[in-house]
Amino acid sequence: MTKENNSILFQLGLLRNLFLRAFGMLAIFFVALTFFQDSIYLFVADPLMQFLPENSSMIATGVASPFITPLKLSFYAALFLAMPYFIVELWNFISPGLYRNERVLSVSLSAFSIILFYAGMAFAFYLVFPLIFSFFIQSAPADVAVMTDISQYLDFVITLLLAFGFAFEMPILIIALIWGGLSSRESLASARPYVIIGCFVIGMLLTPPDVISQTLLAIPTWLLFELGLFISRFIKK
């Protein structure tokens, strides 16, 4: 067996160990959070519950929803909490093949990426959710009892959290494109009108069909695009 084949097998072994460790950490977080699933559910449901009318509550229309939904919520919470560990493991895998200056920039981008992802979710949870739920509930006809299904609510919340979390990665994308030589700061700046339109298209595709959430996703994404262009001035290839 040649050295090249040995190297490929070695890298595959490292990659396998990476996935095993990541899966193990995810399992540990999931098992631990299942003991607090009621508290997690109350925390996630609070942005909606505070706007529900008196004598109104969330409901479960599926037979298994009262059991499955809290478990799904615990899994997603474990996934979000384990995200920094995943990035660290990925960094440990790719760092040996990078030059010193590339390692420094990669570490900075990785840390910045984690912060932006959590910032996006926090922006959605503490600012966007209250605005959306207040608008939806106040828009309901007077003779309609608002009682949201817990499974549909969880899907709605997770979709928006992921959408805002990944949308807030826009500066990382811009810096990576420029640093990797795939584009230049000037060409991206000249494409600004198309980027703004693209931000609203992304908001339309990643959020529920309402103007509020689409706009609240599109505008920060555009501003983060501008932030990425500004930071790219100080990036040396």
Q: What is the pLDDT along the chain (237 residues), one digit of tens a residue?
A: 565 556 666 667 777 887 888 888 999 999 999 999 888 988 998 888 888 777 777 787 877 888 888 889 999 999 988 888 888 777 777 777 667 777 777 778 888 888 999 999 999 999 888 888 888 787 777 777 777 888 888 888 988 898 888 888 888 888 888 877 788 888 888 888 888 898 888 888 777 666 777 888 888 888 999 988 888 887 665
Residue 206 C-alpha from the chain's centroid: 11
Q: Residue 10: its pLDDT value, please?
A: 66
Helix (H) or strand (E) segment spanning residue 91? helix 65-94
Q: Residue 5: its pLDDT value, please?
A: 57
**∠ CA 24-25-28, rounded to 5°:** 90
Report whether 60 contacts 69 (CB < 8 A).
Answer: yes
Query: Which residues have a Cβ under 8 Å from the Cβ of 228 and sit 6 or more positions away?
Result: 170, 171, 172, 173, 174, 175
Q: Residue 11: its pLDDT value, please?
A: 66
Whole-number Å distance between alpha carbons of 49 and 42? 9
Q: Residue 3: its pLDDT value, please?
A: 58
**∠ CA 132-133-139, rounded to 5°:** 90
**Would you kindly state where each structural domain of the chain is located, as residue ranges?**
3-168
Q: Residue 67: its pLDDT value, please?
A: 85
Whole-number Å distance between alpha carbons of 225 and 167? 10
Burial 163-185 (b: 16+ CB within 10 A, else e): bbbbbbbbbbebbbbbbeeeeeb
**What is the residue whose two structure tokens read 């693209």?**
198
- Residue 44: count other Cβ atoms within 10 Å of its Cβ: 22
Q: Residue 58: its pLDDT value, please?
A: 79
**What is the residue whose two structure tokens read 């493991």?**
89
Report whether 215 contacts 203 (CB < 8 A).
Answer: yes
